[in-house]
Amino acid sequence: MSSERPHRTVLVVDDSALMRTVISEVIGRFAQFTVIGTAVDGEDALTKVHALDPDIVTLDIEMPGLDGLAVLGYIMSESPRAVVMLSGADTEGQVSATLRALELGAVDFVHKPQAAGARQVTEIEERLHQALAAAAVVNLRGVSMLARPVFVPKRGAEARGGAHAALVIAASTGGPRALAEVIPMLPASLDAVVIVVQHMPRGFTAGLADRLDTLSVLEVSEVVDGELLRPGHVYIAPGGTHCTVVATHEGPRAALHDGAPVWGVKPAADPLFASAAAVFGAHCVGVVLTGMGRDGSAGLAAVRAAGGGAVVQDRDSSIIYGMPLAALETAGADRVAPLGAVAGAAVALLARHRPVEPRP
């Protein structure tokens, strides 16, 4: 019996003839994938999804007529399958549309080059292969669409000093969708700082922070180097930069580092988790959500070794179970929870070792 992985068929959808050719040629270099057809617009895409029944669809976001978001909605409601978005994402609106696509059920996205020279094709090749590899092992049961977001008004911000407890979260493939469920479920009374590492390129994490900020009663922002980390605030590590926590006389502060990738990603969760464990000790809870690879597993072990708590997303609700499984095998967990119970489990673990506020 052959040990080779089975081929996955791919439908390439793009209104640009040049990009259809480029994407098809790049996919043609991957032994595991075969382009079964191409589509020139949204209506053509839906026709060929039904006619060709591809395993995976690469879907351009911006198209005339039915755009990528509309097509994605039809696919995920009528004939669910793995979808990888192709996004120009050079404007705030395009970034927002890409993030919404991930909430609607797209497995991943690839930043589409504006030109098709040799350098641009080389840059997209590795990223496209990563996205297709994730799509090939996606758990479609974990990819149900989120309802349209409900925007939450903020309560008046309290003047607070530095945090004395921390909730650190790791996420990769499927993470933006998972975070859109977890972060809004954190209570306004949360007395810990929340720091998130989402594997995402530079330019997208600020948009992710803005989107989560509209959904959550807590303030959400992208990390600024050196800023004081305050309780009741959610910080998103910037794409392309590692983020750690350092102790100072005023309280814990963020430190951004332009080091080498860890596990092939930057930001990586392992450096953040290890630094948070060192600063907060038992008053730290680590959470590992959906994603490929094993980032977060060593960091979660450091959190537990320091006396902190650990929550790992369960298999059934994970879009990709790689990171949660690696974390569970490496570090174990206090709770293995479905996505809808992750926030509650983390808050309960934080309450178990509630720090004592220093006297003035």
The token pair that represents 196 in the structure block: 């998130």
Same domain, 15 and 109: yes
In a domain, 217, yes or no: yes
**pLDDT, position 54:** 98
- Start-to-end CA distance of the chain, whole Å, equals 71
Same domain, 193 and 299: yes
In a domain, 152, yes or no: no
Determine whether 50 is an active site residue. no
The three-state secondary structure class of 306 is: coil
**pLDDT, position 360:** 39
**pLDDT, position 93:** 85
- What CATH number does residue 203 fall under? 3.40.50.180
In a domain, 2, yes or no: no
Same domain, 189 and 333: yes
Q: Which of 94, 103, 37 is nearest to 67 (CA)?
A: 94
In a domain, 157, yes or no: no
Same domain, 90 and 196: no
Give the Cα separation of 210 and 204 in Å (integer): 10
In which domain, by residue range, is 22 found?
8-142
Determine whether 172 is an active site residue. yes
Q: Which of 162, 155, 163, 167 is nearest to 197 (CA)?
A: 167
Of 108, 111, 164, 199, the catalytic one is 199
The token pair that represents 305 in the structure block: 């070794």
**pLDDT, position 1:** 37
**pLDDT, position 161:** 83
b/e sequence 132-151, b meaning 16+ C-beta within 10 Å: bbbbbbbbeebbeeeeeeee
**pLDDT, position 88:** 78
Same domain, 223 and 334: yes
- What CATH number does residue 40 fall under? 3.40.50.2300
Same domain, 302 and 347: yes
Same domain, 122 and 55: yes
The token pair that represents 139 in the structure block: 């758990």
Give the Cα separation of 245 and 254 in Å (integer): 5
User: Do the Cβ atoms of 269 and 326 come closer than 8 Å?
Assistant: no
Of 87, 172, 216, 297, the catalytic one is 172
Same domain, 25 and 62: yes
Give the Cα separation of 283 and 315 in Å (integer): 27
Domain boundary among 126, 142, 158: 142
pLDDT tens-place values along the chain, 360 residues long: 344 556 899 999 999 998 999 999 999 999 999 999 999 999 999 999 999 999 999 999 999 999 999 999 999 999 999 999 998 767 888 889 999 999 889 999 998 876 666 666 777 898 999 999 999 999 988 766 555 556 666 655 555 688 999 999 999 999 999 999 999 999 999 999 999 999 998 889 999 999 999 999 999 999 999 999 999 999 999 999 999 999 999 999 999 999 899 999 999 999 999 999 999 999 999 999 999 999 999 999 999 999 999 999 999 999 999 999 999 999 999 999 999 999 999 999 999 866 544 433
**pLDDT, position 122:** 76
In a domain, 291, yes or no: yes
The separation between CA 26 and the C-alpha centre of its own chain, rounded to angstroms, equals: 25
Same domain, 189 and 112: no
Angle 154-156-160 from CA coordinates, rounded to 5° = 115
Same domain, 170 and 137: no
The pTM for the full model equals: 0.91
In a domain, 153, yes or no: no
The three-state secondary structure class of 146 is: coil
Question: Token match 């990769």: residue?
Answer: 172
Domain boundary among 142, 176, 193: 142
For 84-120, give the DSSP string. EEEE---SHHHHHHHHHHHHHT--EEEE--SS-SHHH
Same domain, 194 and 265: yes
Compute the radius of gyration of the chain from its Cα atoms. 21
Give the Cα separation of 38 and 57 in Å (integer): 10
Determine whether 270 is an active site residue. no
In a domain, 360, yes or no: no
Same domain, 88 and 171: no
How many domains does the structure of the chain reveal? 2
For 11-68, give the DSSP string. EEE-S-HHHHHHHHHHHTT-TTEEEEEEESSHHHHHHHHHHH--SEEEEES--SSS-H
In a domain, 314, yes or no: yes
Of 44, 55, 295, 314, the catalytic one is 295
**pLDDT, position 7:** 86
